[in-house]
Structure 1
Amino acid sequence: MSAPAASVIAECLRAQASVAKRERLARVIGRSPLSADSRPWYLGALGELDVARRLAALGPDWAVAHSIPIGTRGSDIDHLVVGPAGVFTINSKFHEGARVWVGSRRLLVNGQKTDHIRNARFEASRVKKVLTDIGAPPVVPIVAVVGAREVVVKAAPIDVFVLRAEKLTRWLAKRPVVLSSDQLSAARQAIVDPRRWGVQVELTAGDYERFAALRREVKGAKRTRLAWALGALTGVVTAAFSVGLPPALKLLGY
């Protein structure tokens, strides 16, 4: 099957290909090299890569496939996991520094409604149809949240699990066993059978190198912006002290 984040990396590189290189001033002030079109794909790739790295820590009884194409419209499943505890679809969502609120029917990011729960449920139903012939139990949908400042579960959805990415593998490993050895073997073979899925996205070594270079550039721009912000703050504090402290503070020994 495809490598982790293959689909979103491919779309990110496609969108980024039309973006002009930053001029010197843009680099000096730390402007992001990402465009409005490439940024969502880039963040999606970060989320999928993070979750894929964590899923690699599952034991040998587990099988994991990534970027699984399903249907004919370019849709894919971020991660499909099979183990003694059953079959799970995982939808990775990168929300760095955000506040995530989970209710029984919706998931909000910084107060904004999302379709995460609905989409996760739909993906699981599609995979269930593909695997019907192997007699596997219902496919369990998961939304894995990456990088959020906080995740508050006010009322958990009945049929979709919302988890912080860092808790994902432990949660899976602690789930009760529901598959027999025969069911597990059949499910493991099914998720890597290309005849069941759509056309796979294949990335070249050059694609990975371009994405890695883009990632370094984005990180460098972020460090530059932070340096400018820190410099500005230092300047404000220095200016405040240069005009002299209030008499009351002087009496206190400042």
Structure 2
Amino acid sequence: MTHILSTRRRLATPPELPESNRTGALRSTPGLAWLLDRAPRGPEPTPTDLALARARSELAVDTFLETLPEHWAAFTSPALTGDGPSAARLIVGPGGVFALHAQLCDGRIAWVYRQTVHVAGRRAPDLATAEAGAQRLTTLLRGRVPLRTAVQPVVVVLGARALWAPGQTGQSWAAPGRPAPVAVLGARALGDWLASRPQVLRPIERMELAAAIDNPLTWGIRPSILPRPGTVRN
């Protein structure tokens, strides 16, 4: 159930944005709305399409999380599974607990607009949904350990050609508007972002959290007891 992926390797320098993005002025908010609402869209994805996209995201996020900063670890959790194309992990480290939702963009441009991440005109992880999921995770974990800090949601776009997000910098392109309530980051910005979080969890607390995350009872899953060979169930 658990992946513990941590390394001391630093993240590489983010790739440059396209020339048009570096030299031209950003569109106004109405311009962003026009682009998002009228971008060419293909047919709606089928459940099979979503399952394949989620499998690709799962592989990509596990490879990406091998570059987590020192003292940070990633975990899977049944409470984070869903039907969408994104992959999700619990990230635990000195700076807290984060519910990470990763979306594979395949070289397309990602936008944050009206509390939603858009990729090629389609809605990707919904920020309000990510926020509600983090609150639920906080409740479940506090039922097992005295967690002093709430789980915080964060959305990471993998393989995006560019990321435009209101009020954010780093490997995102600051767009007009108020900052999103959920952090939305480019893949190469996550490591430094995590390392810059103020310390809120001691090592012993992180160990207790890891044990709670690994415990099926935390997620309401009761382990099945197999009968001994030769016994008959009533």
Tell me whether 1:163 sits opposite 2:185 in the alignment: yes
**What is the TM-score when the length of structure 2 is the normalising length?**
0.61
Aligned to 1:146: 158
RMSD after superposition? 3.2
Q: How far apart are the structure 2 equivalents of 1:140 and 1:156?
A: 16
Aligned-residue offset at 1:102: 1.2
Q: How far apart are the structure 2 equivalents of 1:142 and 1:71?
A: 13
Describe the superposition over 1:131-161 as per-residue Cα deviations: whole angstroms up to 9, x where unpaired: 1142220101011111222110124212x11
Structure with more of its chain in helix, by fraction: 1
Aligned to 1:70: 79
Describe the superposition over 1:191-245 as per-residue Cα deviations: whole angstroms up to 9, x where unpaired: 1122212559xxxxxxxxxxxxxxxxxxxxxxxxxxxxxxxxxxxxxxxxxxxxx
Q: How far apart are the structure 2 equivalents of 1:64 and 1:79?
A: 6
Provide the aligned length of Structure 1 versus Structure 2. 168
Aligned to 2:136: 126
Aligned to 2:212: 190
The higher radius of gyration belongs to 1
**Structure 1 segments of 4+ aligned residues over 3 angstroms from their partners:** 71-77, 111-115
User: CA 1:177–1:71 in 2, change beyond 3 Å: closer, same or farther?
Assistant: closer
**What is the TM-score when the length of structure 1 is the normalising length?**
0.57
Q: Which amino acid aligns with 2:126?
A: H
Q: How far apart are the structure 2 equivalents of 1:82 and 1:3?
A: 11
Aligned-residue offset at 1:174: 2.5
Show the 5 A alignment for 1:29-178.
36-59=46-69, 61-66=71-76, 68-70=77-79, 78-103=88-113, 105-133=115-143, 134-136=145-147, 137-154=149-166, 155-158=178-181, 160-178=182-200
Q: Which runs of 5+ in 1 are unaligned?
A: 5-34, 201-254
